[in-house]
């Protein structure tokens, strides 16, 4: 019978072939859990080991010379120990804090049993101690403070998962990329006003392993690569200016060819050069179009962060949407979905793709807003009043504790018009509101959001390339604009969207560190957007003129 | 045309000072930096401020580090970095923008990196921007310093920068051979030895190699380029004793050339020594409070002198501060004690960076020229037991102006920090090691004590976490000792009247400071040599990163008439509930 069993496994092959690391993690997990669940006081009811294995290659260059060229390999361990019960455990939020136990410690790069087990054991002990201590504090707190208005549990019930697949090997030709980076970064030398500039390419292979005491055993991974182009300058009045562009592809072989990158370098450089002479904005409220990429960031900041489930549990959070499920939160022609199972959109690879989240829950498409109505929240295994289960959005950077985070944000619209018509509608709106002009935000670099109760419930998106659009249709590049606003007000002001989808790939930084995300959106027309003057340094540009530049390495 | 003119001007300036190397031998880095430096003299702001002094540094690093534990590699990474530093001074040597609490804040260029390839134009471009920022910062700092001085009274007038003669020291670049594979295997193989010591549940071996070309130029005409390499094998291990007390130890083997790192069999012996000492410590009984004669031998003696003398040889200077906001500046215990006798009059101590080797042992503290371009010479710091000299940089301090070439680390408030190099502790009257031990036992019997103490190793550099150091310092202060920390003794032996020795653990010094040195009554005729890497702190952490300095201390074993040690009393963490995993392999 035993023989048949092993044959059976071989035949079905890809469904679950265990990696040696998963085996080691499992063995040590169960050895520790045996004791901690029975002999420890308080006993542990759940333990999980997560290992993130990353191999990265980087090449960066400026003005025709290499500034960096390295490869790094690392494996990081995160341990989760839960004591108490799923209803009340050591991760319970008190006074706005969820507790931080894991440390993201480096472990052996090869599957060496002694080295790995010793680290797993000592980390488990350390995390268990902290968990036990915090549980005692929580129990005291529970007795003393007013009972939470709507108690929900601290840990959800989920299906165990079994899956094994690894990312393909990292194929990256350092020398070839170095030659390309030198060549492609050199043209910035033609612009003496550009103070700093650079190109960088990163290729990464990441594999994640997770085992837990519920029986989950998964290993999954994806490759990632990116080329970034950046440039900075200083206007004569001291304002710092920057332009940026990036290309993302899962496989470095699919990154653009030289011609396309060179064209982007050219645009980054000439946009920046023009910005130096562009007029400054004045504070303004009025109609604006945000390009697809700009709109994506807009939605990520003003909407995405407010639907991360755990914020609704925390009394120090503004809980903007806590009571809005079932009510309209966006115009009725807009729907918003988060889909980590989507690898591509609008012809581009998406940064927020994953097969399993960082708690081993299977990734899935989640409709957040349907025809303007809020349906649910992004959930990790931390339940929220009214929402008892995870929807596969528990994520973290190694070393941080998991919270609900965004993945691939997709904006869909049933009120789409061709781009040319959208511009016409902007002009119509400018005239209707009797404004001298409106705005067109072409390129942005991300932003940040404050969702806490203490500060103003506001957001800020940081534009890079912005045009003033006059009632007669003429466009003028301007500098110094920041978009600000409060989320509830801004949402209702979306009038219509374009048809063409654009992709913004980036990283989102929040409580559980940096995670890769994307936002896919058509351009949007907003009837009212508030523009504020950017903070500016009063530092002068350099006093001496640039020294002689000779491009190309000379030895 | 303009470029050409600058080139000639630069060449002329160099030609005047430097007859050692031709312009071609200097290479694009020296050339680019020299020319941008020269052009930067013309910087001007507010029609008033122009630089009276500018210096450029560059550390061109090729590094590699491998970390292994129990036969497995945890990381193995190469690093290639070029780190620039620029300092601009405005005003004059008497009064400038430094020695003010915000001197470091304005114009800071922290984290700047240079391209890794030698392109003349790109190098100048980067130094152009760095110099611009440093200059503007200097102008802002001096303005604020003048305004701060209107509201405070400065008790004495000390100049801000001492003059020094220009130097030229341009050494050839040597080839770099990283040998990553060899170092990685070494780390792995040494770490695997711990499988024979299962009681040590945590252990790690780190092998680091760093090839660095150091460049320094200033507007006085100094031109410097020399190799500054460092190779390290570091071993760490630890576990919890049965009563919960964490027991840890580390050992560093360092060299300035890869060939001077001992061969693998010798390193394996060192690993085994550390591992078996630690294993013995785990089961050793806890020590008891003690006051009496103590013999300080082997590594412990140079470690002690590093802390009590070495760390006190630099004088600090209080920066000009805003009224009511004087920052606490750590000061030397020897400050103001020039000529005071702190050791027996048959002892001398010399700081000598010019020596590269002593009795076949490569000295870690060797360096040819300091960070300000001043060439050091041997310096007698203690003569006939009395304080004779301090280590000085170009920063004047109360009572002293003029560098003796000891600027080895970046310092605070625009200055550099002086630290020792190779410290030779010499005794003109000595006894053999056996005689010393006999003296100890005689005193023990005389005073009717049950035993005496021999200390052979201190936790220096320290394995203690910052938390533990804080607790140690607070506890020491409470018991009336100095809050200034000294390293915990690691290998402490009780020695009974019959000569038998017994290892004890968990002891610390009580009230150990410079004054304790007066209780030295005898020294051995042997040399104990100890190398370590420091960062300017009196108690540096093991494996310190960032800007570091190498040191060697050579000292005889010494007998103290009276020292106090007590037992560390703390609530130790509980032992893990789950026993350690069984180790699978042991080749």
Note whether B398 contacts A: Cβ–Cβ < 8 A.
no
Q: How many CA atoms lie within 13 A of B39 on its CB side?
A: 26
Question: A188 to chain B: which residues are within 8 Å by CB?
Answer: none
Residues A529-551 have pLDDT tens digits of 988 888 777 788 999 999 975 54
Instruction: Provide the pLDDT confidence category of residue B132 given band limits of 50, 70 and 90.
Output: very high
pLDDT tens per residue, range A300-339: 888 888 888 877 766 556 566 667 889 998 999 999 999 9
The SS3 call for residue A118 is: helix
- Binned at pLDDT 50, 70 and 90, residue A7 comes out as very low
- Higher-scoring residue by pLDDT: A534, B333: B333
| Closest Cα in chain A, distance from residue B189 (Å) | 13
B63 touches chain A (CB under 8 A): no
Select the more confidently predicted residue: A545 or A210.
A210
Of B118, B577, B578, the CB nearest to A555: B118
Cβ distance B119 to A550 less than 8 Å, yes or no, reads yes
CB of B322 closer than 8 Å to CB of B100? no
pLDDT at B554 exceeding the cut of 70: yes
* Residue A265 main-chain phi, psi, to 5 deg: -60, -45
Pick from B44, B116, B202: which is nearest to A66 by CB?
B116
The residue that leads in pLDDT, B18 or A108, is A108
B240 vs A125, A319, B68, B244, CA distance in Å? 13, 46, 21, 5
Q: Which of A420-434, A450-464, B135-149, B203-217 has the lowest mean pLDDT?
A: A450-464
The arithmetic mean of pLDDT across residues A353-365, rounded, is 97
Nearest by CB to B78, which of A70, A110, A547? A70
In the prediction, which pLDDT does A118 show?
96
| pLDDT surpasses 80 at A355 | yes
CB A416 within 8 A of CB A499: yes
- pLDDT value for B18: 38
Mutate to test the interface with A, among B3, B72, B130 (most CBs of A within 10 A): B72
B72 in contact with chain A, both atoms CB, cutoff 8 A:
yes
B482 touching A (Cβ < 8 Å): no
Residue B28, chain A, CB below 8 Å: the answer is: yes
3-state secondary structure of A379: coil
Distance CA B553, CA B533 (A): 11
Rounded-to-integer distance, Cα B12 and Cα B6, Å: 10
The rounded Cα B226 to chain-centroid distance in angstroms is: 20
**Region A234-255 average pLDDT:** 92
pLDDT band at A15 (very low <50, low <70, confident <90, very high): very low
Contact B578 A31 (CB under 8 A): yes
Q: Average pLDDT, stretch B211-236?
A: 96
Q: Which residues pair with B216 in a beta bridge?
A: B57, B224
Helices (H), A435-543: 487-491
Torsion angle (degrees, nearest 10) of CA B482, B483, B484, B490 = 90
Q: What is the mean pLDDT of residues A488-510?
A: 88
- The torsion defined by the Cα of B143, B146, B151 and B152, in degrees rounded to 10, comes to 130
Which residues in chain A are contacts of B30 at CB distance < 8 A? none
More confident residue, A185 or B19: A185
Answer whether residue B347 shows pLDDT above 80: yes
pLDDT at A154: 94
CA distance B354 to B543: 25
How far apart are the CA of B131 and the nearest CA of chain A, in angstroms? 9
Q: What is the spatial distance between Cα B109 and Cα A539, in angstroms, rounded to a whole number? A: 15
**Which residue in the set B67, B71, B128 is minimally distant from A112, CB to CB?**
B71
Length of chain A: 555
Q: What pLDDT shows up at residue B3?
A: 26
Chain A residue numbers touching B581 (CB-CB < 8 A):
28, 31, 114, 117-118, 120-121
Determine contact: B567 vs chain A, CB below 8 A.
Answer: no
- For every residue of B519-534, DSSP letters joined together read GEEEEBSS-EEEEEEE
Compute and round to an integer the Cα radius of gyration of chain B.
26
Chain A residues whose beta carbon lies within 8 Å of the beta carbon of residue B585: 113-114
What's the pLDDT tens digit per position in B179-197? 999 999 999 999 999 999 9
The angle subtended at Cα A150 by Cα A144 and Cα A156, nearest 5°, is 100
Closest chain A residue to the Cα of B586, Cα to Cα: A114
pLDDT band at B2; cut points 50, 70, 90: very low
Minimum distance, in Å, between the CA of residue B74 and any CA atom of chain A: 4
- Locate the chain B residue with the closest alpha carbon to A43: B577
Interface test with B, best of A28, A66, A112 (most B CBs within 10 A): A112
- Mark yes or no for CB contact A117/B577 under 8 Å: no
> Are B129 and A195 inside 8 Å of each other by CB?
yes
Mean pLDDT score, A386-404: 95
B15 and A CB contact within 8 Å: no
Percent of chain A surpassing pLDDT 70: 89
The helix/strand/coil state of B270 is helix
Residue A265 C-alpha, separation from nearest chain B C-alpha, in angstroms = 18
**DSSP 3-state of B127:** helix
**Residues in chain B closer than 8 A to A189 (CB atoms):** 121
Local structure of residue A97 (DSSP, 8 states): B
Indicate yes or no: CB of B136 within 8 angstroms of CB of A124: no
Q: How far is CA B487 from CA B104, B281, B468, B556, in A?
A: 31, 17, 12, 19
Q: Coil, helix or strand for B192?
A: helix
Task: Give chain A positions within 8 Å (CB) of B467.
Answer: none
Residue A117 main-chain phi, psi, to 5 deg = -65, -40
Question: Any CB–CB contact under 8 A between B24 and chain A?
Answer: no
Q: In this complex, is the C-beta atom of B121 within 8 Å of any C-beta atom belonging to chain A?
A: yes
Strand, coil or helix: A411: strand
List of chain B residues whose C-beta atoms are within 8 Å of the C-beta of residue A549: 121-122, 124-125
pLDDT tens, position by position, A421-442: 999 999 999 999 999 999 999 9
Within the 175-234 window of chain B, which residues sit less than 8 Å (CB to CB) from chain A?
195, 201-202
Chain B closest-CA separation from residue A52 CA (Å) = 13
Q: Considering chain A, what is the average pLDDT of its residues?
A: 88
Residue A379 Cα distances to A155, A312, A404, B322, angstroms: 11, 11, 5, 52
Under 8 Å CB pairs connecting chains A and B tally to 164
> What is the DSSP annotation of A161-228?
-EEE--PPP----HHHHHHHHHHHHGGGGG-TTEEEEEEEEEEEEEEEEEEETTS-EEEEEEEEEEEE
Dihedral pair phi/psi, residue B162, rounded to 5°:
-85, 150
d(CA A501, CA A345): 8
């Amino acid at each position: 019978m035993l023989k048949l069993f092993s044959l059976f496994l071989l035949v079905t092959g890809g469904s679950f072939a265990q990696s040696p690391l998963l085996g080691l993690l499992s063995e040590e997990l169960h050895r520790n859990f045996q004791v901690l669940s029975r002999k420890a006081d308080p006993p542990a009811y759940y333990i999980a080991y997560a290992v993130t294995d990353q191999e990265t290659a980087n090449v960066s260059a400026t003005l025709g010379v290499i500034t960096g060229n390295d490869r790094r390999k690392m494996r990081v361990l995160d341990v989760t120990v839960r004591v108490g019960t799923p209803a009340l455990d050591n991760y319970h939020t008190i006074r706005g804090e969820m507790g931080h136990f894991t440390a993201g410690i480096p472990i052996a790069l090869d599957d060496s049993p002694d080295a790995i087990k010793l680290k797993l054991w000592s980390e488990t002990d350390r995390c268990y101690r902290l968990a036990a201590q915090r549980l005692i504090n929580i129990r005291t707190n529970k007795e003393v403070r007013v009972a939470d208005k709507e108690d929900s549990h601290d840990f959800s019930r989920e299906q165990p998962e079994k899956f094994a697949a690894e990312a393909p090997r990292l194929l990256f030709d350092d020398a070839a990329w170095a030659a390309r980076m030198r060549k492609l970064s050199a043209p910035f030398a033609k612009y003496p006003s550009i103070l700093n500039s650079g190109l960088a390419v990163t290729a990464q292979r990441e594999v994640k392993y997770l085992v837990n005491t519920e029986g989950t055993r998964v290993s999954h991974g994806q490759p990632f690569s990116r080329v970034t182009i950046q440039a900075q300058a200083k206007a004569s009045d001291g304002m710092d200016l920057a332009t940026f562009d990036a290309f993302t592809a899962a496989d470095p072989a699919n990154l653009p060819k030289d011609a396309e990158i060179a064209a982007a370098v050219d645009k980054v450089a000439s946009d920046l050069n023009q910005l130096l002479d562009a007029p400054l904005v004045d504070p303004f409220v009025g109609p604006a179009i945000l390009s697809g990429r700009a709109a994506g960031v807009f939605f990520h900041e003003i909407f995405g962060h407010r639907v991360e489930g755990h914020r609704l549990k925390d009394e120090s959070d503004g809980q903007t949407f806590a009571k809005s499920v079932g009510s309209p939160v966006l115009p009725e022609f807009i729907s918003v979905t988060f889909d980590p199972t989507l690898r591509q959109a609008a012809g581009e690879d998406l940064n927020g793709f994953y097969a399993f989240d960082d708690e081993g829950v299977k990734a899935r498409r989640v409709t957040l807003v349907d025809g303007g109505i809020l349906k649910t929240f992004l959930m990790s295994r931390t339940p929220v009043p009214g929402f008892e289960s995870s929807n596969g959005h528990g994520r973290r950077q190694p070393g941080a504790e998991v919270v609900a985070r965004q993945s691939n944000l997709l904006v869909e619209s049933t009120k789409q018009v061709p781009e040319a018509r959208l511009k016409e509608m902007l002009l119509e709106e400018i005239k209707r509101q009797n404004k001298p002009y409106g705005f067109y935000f072409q390129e942005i670099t991300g932003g940040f959001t404050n969702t806490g109760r203490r500060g103003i419930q506001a957001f800020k998106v940081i534009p890079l390339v912005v045009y003033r659009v006059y009632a007669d249709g003429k466009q003028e590049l301007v500098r110094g604009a920041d978009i600000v606003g409060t989320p509830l007000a801004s949402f209702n002001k979306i009038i219509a969207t374009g048809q063409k989808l654009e992709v913004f790939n980036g990283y989102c930084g929040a409580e559980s560190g940096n995670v890769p995300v994307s936002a896919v959106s058509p351009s949007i027309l907003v009837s009212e957007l508030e523009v504020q003057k950017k903070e500016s340094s009063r530092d002068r540009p350099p006093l001496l003129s640039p020294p002689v530049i000779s491009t190309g390495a000379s030895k | 045309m303009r470029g050409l003119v600058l080139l000639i001007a630069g060449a002329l300036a160099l030609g005047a000072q430097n007859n050692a190397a031709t312009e071609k031998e200097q290479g694009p880095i020296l050339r680019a930096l020299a020319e941008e430096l020269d052009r930067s003299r013309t910087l001007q702001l507010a029609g008033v401020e122009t630089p009276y002094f500018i210096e450029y540094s560059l550390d061109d690093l090729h590094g590699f580090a491998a970390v292994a534990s129990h036969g497995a590699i945890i990381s193995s990474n190469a690093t290639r970095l070029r780190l620039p530093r620029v300092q601009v001074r405005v005003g004059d040597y008497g009064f400038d923008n430094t020695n003010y609490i915000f001197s470091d804040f304005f114009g800071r260029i922290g984290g700047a990196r240079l391209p890794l390839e030698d392109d003349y134009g790109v190098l100048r471009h980067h130094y152009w921007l760095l110099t611009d920022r440093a200059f503007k910062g200097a102008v802002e700092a001096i303005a604020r310093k003048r305004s701060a001085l209107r509201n405070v009274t400065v008790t004495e007038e000390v100049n801000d920068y001492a003059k020094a003669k220009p130097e030229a020291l341009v050494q050839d670049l040597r080839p770099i051979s990283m040998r990553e594979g060899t170092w990685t295997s070494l780390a792995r193989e040494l770490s695997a030895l711990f499988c024979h010591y299962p009681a040590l549940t945590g252990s790690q071996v780190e092998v680091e190699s760093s090839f660095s070309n150091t460049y320094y130029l200033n507007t006085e005409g100094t031109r410097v380029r020399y190799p500054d390499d460092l190779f390290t094998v570091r071993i760490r291990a630890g576990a919890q004793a049965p009563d919960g007390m964490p027991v840890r130890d580390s050992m560093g083997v360092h060299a300035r050339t890869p060939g001077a790192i001992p061969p693998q069999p010798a390193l394996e012996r060192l690993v085994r020594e550390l591992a078996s000492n630690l294993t013995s410590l785990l089961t050793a009984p806890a020590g008891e409070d003690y006051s009496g004669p103590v013999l300080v031998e082997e590594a412990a003696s140079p470690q002690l002198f590093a802390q009590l003398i070495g760390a006190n040889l630099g004088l600090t200077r209080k920066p000009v501060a805003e009224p009511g906001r004087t920052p606490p500046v750590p000061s030397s215990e020897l400050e103001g004690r020039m000529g005071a006798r702190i050791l027996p009059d048959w002892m001398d101590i010399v700081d000598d960076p010019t020596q590269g080797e002593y009795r076949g042992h490569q000295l870690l503290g060797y360096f040819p020229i300091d960070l300000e371009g001043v060439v050091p010479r041997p310096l007698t710091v203690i003569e006939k037991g009395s304080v004779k000299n301090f280590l000085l940089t170009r920063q004047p301090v109360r009572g002293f102006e003029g560098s003796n070439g000891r600027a080895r680390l970046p310092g605070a408030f625009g200055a550099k920090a002086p630290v020792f190099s190779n410290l030779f502790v010499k005794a003109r009257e000595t006894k053999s090691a056996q005689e010393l031990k006999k003296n100890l036992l005689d005193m023990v019997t005389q005073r009717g004590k049950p035993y005496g103490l021999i200390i052979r190793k201190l936790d220096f550099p320290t394995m203690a976490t910052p938390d533990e150091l804080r607790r140690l310092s607070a506890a020491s202060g409470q018991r009336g000792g100095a809050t200034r920390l000294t390293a915990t003794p690691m290998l402490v032996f009780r020695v009974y009247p019959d000569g038998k020795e017994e290892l004890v653990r968990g002891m610390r010094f009580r009230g150990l400071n410079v004054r304790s040195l007066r209780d030295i009554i005898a020294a051995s005729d042997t040399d104990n040599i100890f190398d370590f890497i420091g960062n300017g702190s009196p108690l540096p952490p093991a494996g310190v990163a960032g800007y570091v300095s190498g040191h060697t201390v050579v000292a005889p074993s010494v007998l103290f008439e009276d020292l106090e040690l007590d037992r560390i009393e703390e609530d130790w963490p509980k032992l893990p509930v789950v026993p350690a995993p069984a180790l699978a392999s042991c080749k």
